[in-house]
Amino acid sequence: MDLPVVRLRPSARLPVRAYADDAAFDLHAAVDAVVTPLGRAVVPTGIALGLPPGVAALTLPRSGLAARHGVTLLNTPGLIDPGYRGEVQIVLHNTDAEHEFVVRAGDRIAQLLVVGLLDVRLLEVERLDGTARGASGFGSTGTAGTPATTEPAA
């Protein structure tokens, strides 16, 4: 699939895959920015995408930034709908309470994952089919003896 990309700023770098079989593309900052301790910053990438109907894109954190600097994305995954034609921007969050994080134009700041969309219609029903997991949610894997249920919450 060819995906149209427009460079909106001279400093913008087009998304690239580091390796041919990588699932996601690296997104780069188009401007310098500073993310204060425990703060956030909206960092433009300088690109816009021409996502066709039936295709969306997700912005995801980079594991290296998280591990080395405590920097992640505040709204992860960020969703880019197929009808959006504006600049892709990344909301960086610095989890470090003491040190600012400096972004330079051209730095890799996030990943872009392009995904196909299913044509889904929601169908209201009285009850869902039962499964082994049932309604067991947060922390349910690894909790021995927790009964699974498909009964609706009261």
Whether the pLDDT of residue 22 is over 70: the answer is yes
27 or 140, which is more confident: 27
The residue-averaged pLDDT of 17-37 equals: 97
The pLDDT of residue 52 is 97
Of 138, 139, 131, 135, which is closest to residue 153 (Cα–Cα)?
135
User: Each residue of 28-46: pLDDT tens digit?
Assistant: 999 999 999 999 999 999 9
pTM (2 d.p.): 0.84
**Residues 49-96: pLDDT tens digits?**
999 999 999 999 999 999 999 999 999 999 999 999 999 999 999 999
Mean pLDDT of the residues in the chain: 92
Task: Answer yes or no: is pLDDT of 143 > 70.
Answer: no
Nearest to residue 109, comparing CAs of 22, 37, 13? 13
Residue 109: predicted pLDDT: 98
Domains of the chain: 5-116 (2.70.40.10)
Closest CA to 49 of 91, 81, 78, 1: 81
Given a cut of 60, whether residue 154 has pLDDT beyond it is: no
Residue scoring higher pLDDT (146 or 37)? 37
Confirm if 92 and 75 have CB atoms less than 8 A apart.
Answer: no
